[in-house]
Every structure is written in structure tokens, then in C-alpha cells.
Amino acid sequence: MSDLAKNNKTIKVKTLKNYLQDYPDKLVADIYLEVLENFDDDELVPDIILNNLGISENFLREKDGKS
């Protein structure tokens, strides 16, 4: 487990990148997409990124239809 993802147990970088493709604020999306390039697609997203975006694990599961 990454020290950066202590609370996030399920959201991987690839999932967040897909979500950000349709994020309403394109500037914010572009910034985070660039930051996420520093991580492998199968890594867990760091907690601070999810907190800053206000995203919970349940929210992304619902968006993916996996609720």
C-alpha cells in the first residue's frame, strides 16, 4: 500500500483519469490529469487528490455503475 493512499483502498489512477475526462471544470481536470501522469494507472490515487476534488470511493463506484 502506498503511503499516499492510506484511506483510499479502491480508486485507481486509471479510474480517476477516466472520470476527469468529463469533469465540468476543464482547467482543474487538466491540472489533475497532468499530476496523475506521475503515477502508474494501476496505483491507488493519493488521498490528498481525492480530498481536494471532493471525491469519495462510493461516488466513483456509482459513476462506474458498480454500486
For 12-36, write each residue's pLDDT tens digit: 999 999 999 999 999 999 999 999 9
CB-neighbour burial class of residue 17 (10 A; exposed 0-12, middle 13-18, buried 19+)? middle
With residues binned 3-state (H G I as helix, E B as strand, rest as coil), the percentages for the chain, rounded to 5, are 50, 5, 50
Per-residue pLDDT band for 1 (boundaries 50, 70, 90) equals very low
Strands (E), 1-67: none
Per-residue pLDDT band for 65 (boundaries 50, 70, 90) equals low
Per-residue pLDDT band for 3 (boundaries 50, 70, 90) equals confident
**CA–CA separation, 41 vs 10, rounded Å?**
13
At 67 the pLDDT is 43
What pTM, to 2 d.p., does this model score? 0.83
Three-state SS at 12: strand
Query: Domain locations in the chain?
Result: 13-63
Q: How many helices and strands, by DSSP H and E, does the chain display?
A: 4, 0
